[in-house]
Structure 1
Amino acid sequence: MGGGTTAVLQLASGLRHHSVSVSIATQQGTELVSTARSLGIVVHELDFSRRAASLFTSRKVQAVIRATKPSIVHAHGARAGLPCALLPRGLGPAIAYTVHGFHYGNKAIGVRTFARWSEWLCIAAAQAVVFVSQSDAALASKDGLLGGTTTSHVIYNGAAQPGAEGPPRAPDHDVAFIGRLHHQKNPLLLAEIARLAPALRFLIVGDGELGPALRQRVRELSLQDRFTFLGSLPHADALRALTRARCMVLPSLWEGLPMAVIEAMHLGLPVVATDMPGLREMVVENVTGHLVPSGNAALFAKRLSGLAADRARSSAMHAAARSRAAELFSLEQQIGRHAALYRGMVAAARSRIAELAA
C-alpha cells in the first residue's frame, strides 16, 4: 500500500481506541479492503478509479451515507474528495478533507488547471481541511484555495514506533529504497547513483511499472551484484527489510509528506532525499540526513557514500532521526489530533442546529 493508504488504515484502526466508530469506503478489490476487514473494520467497496465518473461515484457515496448515517465523512485525497464535494447540501454529515500533498504543479498545463480547480472544490465543500505539511497549507493560502467557511489544520502523518524484536541485526546493505517503482519516485536514478558510487550496495523494496526498466538498466551497467530486489512485501516485512540497510534514499520528483520517510526515521535510518518543501519539514540537513537537488545523481552518490564510510556520523544521525520522528511524527499524536478535530466538528454542527432551531 502507498503512504496515503497506510495513513488512512492506521487512522481508522487507532481511532477506535478514542471511542470513534469508523468504516471505510474505498476502491474495490484493493489490499486496503482485505487488510481493514482483517482488523474488524467495516469496508464499503466502491469504484473511485475514474475522476470523470465522480458524479456517479458521489451517488454511491451518498447511498453509503444514508445507510450508515455517519456524523463525519472524511475524504482523503482528491480522488475521494471530489465525489464528496458533489454530495447534496443538507445530507447530514460534516465533511473533512485531507490534502496528501498538492501535485497539480507537476501536471501538464491543461490538466493542471483542472486538478487545481478540483482541489479548490474539495476544500470549499469541507467544513475542515487537514494538511499533512506546513508547506501545503502555505501553498493553499498562496494559490487562493482556502475559502472563508473552511477551517484549516496541519496534522503530520504518524507511524508507530517499532518494538524490539530481539538483538539488532547488522546491516548487510548500505542503501535502501522503499516504495513504488513509479515515475514519481524516479527509481531509474538509483542505477546512475550506483554507477557513481561503486562501493554502495542497494536494497530495493517495492515494485511497479518501472521495475523492468530499472532491472534492465542495472544489467546494462553490470551492477547486478550490488542490487538486491525484494519486490512488493507486506507492510511489516517491508519495514523489517529496511533494517538491513544503513540509510534510506528517496530520489522522488514530487512528494507530500511521505510515510516511508517517517517509518525509516522511526527505525533510525538517516534519509537522503530530494530537496522539496514537505521533505524539508522532515529531514534536517546534516542532522537526520541530507537533501539533494532533484535528479542530481552525483550529489546523491556523494552523500550516500559519506554516510556509508563515516559510521560515527551515521550513528549520530540514527539517534537524531529517531528523536525527531518521536517528537513530530508519532502515530498517537496523529490519531489524538484527529479525534479532537472530529469532536470539534460534531460540536460545531450541533451548535448550528441549535441556532437554527432557536
Structure 2
Amino acid sequence: MCDLASPGSSSVRIGVPGSDGHGDTERGNMRVLRLCSVFETPPEALSGRGRAFDPVGGMQNHAARLSEELDRHGVVQTIVTTRPPGTPARQRFGRHGRVIRLGLPLPWARQGYALPAAALLPRLAENADLVHVHLGEDIAAAPLALLTARARRLPLVMTVHCSVRHTVSVHGPRSALLKVLGGRAEAAAASKAAAVIVLTERGARLTRVHGTDPARIHVIPSGVAEDEFADAAGCPDGLEEPPGSYVLYLGRLHHEKGVHTLIRAFSLLGDRDTRLVVAGDGPARAELRSLSARLGLSSRVRFLGFVPHARVPALLSGAALLALPSRYEELGTAAVEAMRVGVPVVATDTGGLPEVVENGVTGLLVPVDAERALADALARLLDDAPARIRMGRAARRRAAGYRWDRLAPRVLSVYDSVLSPAPAT
C-alpha cells in the first residue's frame, strides 16, 4: 500500500501552465482524493462474476488513463471506487497511488459502497489537497464528494462523464429515479464545485445555462492512451474475420445503446458479404440474439460477449467501420478509439457525438432510432472504399487531439487553478 504524505510534510507545488497547457513535469507533493463509482478492473478479475460489474467502459478507462498520466507527473492519488468480484480491497496504483474498493462484490448492491465510503472518505481527505469526483449514472458519488470536501474545507473538482440532468433519457422506473435523484445531486455538486470538467462544448453550454459560473467550467474530453494504440493492427486472435470485412459495435448491450436499431438496420443491407461483430455484454444480450435470429441474421451477426480492453485496439483496427447507434451519449470513447486507428464512424446525431464525429469528414451521422437512415449510411461507406479510406485518414488526424499525454496536463492546470485561485478584483 502506498500511504499518503502527512499534511504537514511539505506544501503543494503549483506548476505554472505554459501556452500549451503544460505545467511542471513533477507534482510530487500534490495529493488528490479521487472518487468514482467505477474504475478499471485488474485483468485477473475480468472473468466469471466480475463481468457483470461493467468492468470495461468509457468512464472506467477515462479515470484509469487519467490517473496513470497524473501518476507519471508525480501526483499522489487515492482512488476510492466500488469493488467488483475478484478484486482486492486495496491495491497499489503506479508509483505514487493506491486504489481502495468498497462495498459488496454484487452488481445489485453496487450503490451500497456509499455507506463505508461516507465513513472513510473524510479520514482519507485529511491527507489530500483536493477532491476529484467522477460522475456517471450514479446517485451516491456527488453527495459523498460534496460532504467530504465540505468537512475538510477542500476544493472540489467534478468531471461529468454522463450528465443525468442533460443527457440521460427516461425509459423506465430506474432511469426515472436516476433522473430525479441523480439530477439533483449533479446540480448541487455543480453549484458548489471549484471546477466542473465536462467532456464536450455541449456539456459546457448546458452547464452554463443552469447557472454555473463559466469561469469554473473546463472542457476536457476523454482520450486514448497512445501506447495502447500505437501498434494496433489486424484482428484479435480468434475472431476469424478478414480485416476490413466487418462492421463493429463496441459497448454495453443496453437499451440506451441502440443496438436493436443497428441489427434491424443491418438486416436492410441485403446480401453484402459483410458481418456485424457485436463486442460487449449487458442485460439486452439475450434479446438481441433473439432479434438477430428472427431477422435471419444468425450467420451474419457475431456476438463476442465481454471483450477485455487490451483486445480493443486490434478489434477496431480490423473493422471496416464502427457503428455507434446510441440513444444518448455524452462523448463516445469508442468513437475516439476508432478514429485513433483510422476507422471511420457511423454514429447517431445525439449528445456529444457530433463534436467527435464530423459528418462527412471523419464519419457519418444519422438520427436516433432511424434504422433506414442508419442502413443507408452503413451501405454508403461499405460500398465506397475510397471514401472510407479518406474518412479514416481524417479521423486519425482528428484523434491526435485526444491523447491522454496531452489531456492530463490540462487537468493538472485545473488542479492548479483551484489550489491557488486568482485573487478577487
The TM tier, using the shorter chain, reads 0.7 to 0.9
Corresponding position of 1:132: 199
Partner of 2:133: 75
Instruction: State the identity %.
Output: 29
- In proportion to residue count, which structure has more helix? 1
Contact kept in structure 2, 1:173 and 1:202, CA below 8 Å: no
Whichever residue aligns with residue 341 of structure 2, its letter is L
Counterpart in 1 of 2:99? 43
Equivalent positions of 1:18-37 (< 5 A) are 18-29=73-84, 37=92
Tell me whether 1:194 sits opposite 2:266 in the alignment.
Answer: yes
The answer to whether the aligner puts 1:214 opposite 2:288 as a matched pair is yes
Distance 1:101 1:75, change over 3 A: same
Partner AA of 1:276 in structure 2: T
| Alignment equivalent of 1:279, drawn from 339, 346, 353 | 353
Structure 2: state its 5+ residue gaps.
1-55, 237-241
Q: Following the alignment from structure 1 to structure 2, what is the Cα–Cα distance between the partners of residues 211 and 110?
A: 24
Distance 1:131 1:171 in 2: 35
> Could you tell which deviates more after superposition, 82-91 or 284-293?
82-91
Most deviating of 338-347 and 205-214: 338-347
Residue 252 of structure 1 deviates from its aligned partner by: 0.6
Q: Which residue of 1 aligns with 2:47?
A: none
Q: Distance in 1 between matches of 2:350 and 2:224?
A: 21
Counterpart among 110, 118, 125 of residue 58 in structure 1: 118
Alignment of 1:12 onto 2:85: no
Distance apart, 1:58 and its partner CA:
2.7
Moved more, 234-243 or 201-210: 234-243
Question: Does the aligned pair in 1 maintain the 2:130–2:149 contact within 8 Å?
Answer: no
The TM-score normalised by the length of structure 1 is 0.87
AA paired with 2:316? L
Aligned-partner Cα distance in 2 for 1:167–1:216: 30
Q: Which moved more, 1:48-57 or 1:114-123?
A: 48-57
Structure-2 residue corresponding to 1:355: none
Q: How far apart are the structure 1 equivalents of 2:225 and 2:90?
A: 17
Deviation at 1:166, TM superposition (A): 6.5
8 Å CA contact 2:235, 2:318 repeated in 1? no
**Structure 1 unmatched ranges of 5 or more:** 353-358
1:159 alignment partner in structure 2: 224
Judge which range, 17-26 or 103-112, deviates more: 103-112
User: When the two structures are aligned, how many residues end up with a matched partner?
Assistant: 346
Deviation, 1:92, is: 4.3
**Are positions 1:250 and 2:324 aligned together?**
yes
Q: How far off its partner does 1:50 sit? A: 6.3
Answer yes or no: is the 8 Å Cα contact 2:278–2:301 preserved in 1. yes
Of residues 4-13 and 120-129 in structure 1, the stretch that sits farther from structure 2 once superposed is 120-129
Q: Which amino acid aligns with 2:60?
A: T
What secondary structure, in the 3-state scheme, does the structure 1 residue paired with 2:302 have?
strand
Does residue 305 of structure 2 align to residue 231 of structure 1?
Answer: yes
Query: Any conservation in 1 of the 2:250–2:334 contact (CA below 8 Å)?
Result: yes
Deviation readout 1:4-28 (Å, 9 max, x if unpaired): 1110000001112222122210011
SS in 2 for 1:136: helix
1:346 maps to 2:410: no
Match of 1:95 in 2: 156
- The Cα of 1:125 is off from its aligned counterpart by 2.7
Indicate whether 1:332 and 2:393 are aligned.
Answer: no
Q: Deviations over 1:330-352 (max 9, x none)?
A: 21121110112212222239x89
- How many Å separate the matches in 2 of 1:201 and 1:102? 34
Answer yes or no: is the 8 Å Cα contact 2:92–2:98 preserved in 1.
yes
* Cα RMSD, aligned residues only: 2.8
The question of 1:121 aligning with 2:188 is answered yes
Tell me if structure 2 keeps the 8 A contact 1:9–1:32: no
Confirm or deny that 1:181 pairs with 2:181: no
Inter-partner Cα distance in structure 2 for 1:189 and 1:217: 10
1:79-117 deviation digits (Å, cap 9, x = unpaired): 322211123625043210011132335136665343322
Could you list the structure 1 runs, at least 4 aligned residues long, displaced by more than 4 angstroms after superposition. Answer: 30-41, 48-56, 108-111, 165-170
SS in 1 for 2:63: helix
Which shifted more, 256-265 or 165-174? 165-174
The CA distance in 2 between the partners of 1:221 and 1:228, in whole Å, is: 14
In 2, Cα distance between equivalents of 1:16 and 1:102 = 27
Confirm whether residue 305 of structure 1 aligns to residue 305 of structure 2: no
CA distance in 1, matches of 2:115, 2:131: 17
Relative to structure 1, is the Cα distance of residues 165 and 303 closer, same or farther in structure 2, using a 3 angstrom cutoff? closer
Instruction: Tell me the SS of whatever aligns to 1:291.
Output: strand
Q: Match of 2:99, as an amino acid?
A: V
With over 3 angstroms needed to count, the CA separation of the structure-2 counterparts of 1:31 and 1:184, relative to structure 1, is farther
Which has the higher mean CA deviation after the structures are superposed, 51-60 or 298-307?
A: 51-60
| C-alpha deviation, 1:130, in angstroms | 0.5
Alpha-carbon offset, residue 211 of structure 1: 0.8
**1:2 and 2:63 aligned:** no
From the superposition, tell whether residues 238 and 34 of structure 1 become closer, same or farther in structure 2 (CA, over 3 Å).
farther
Deviations 1:215-263 (A, max 9, x none): 1111111211211221111111122112221100011111101211110
SS class of match (1:280): helix
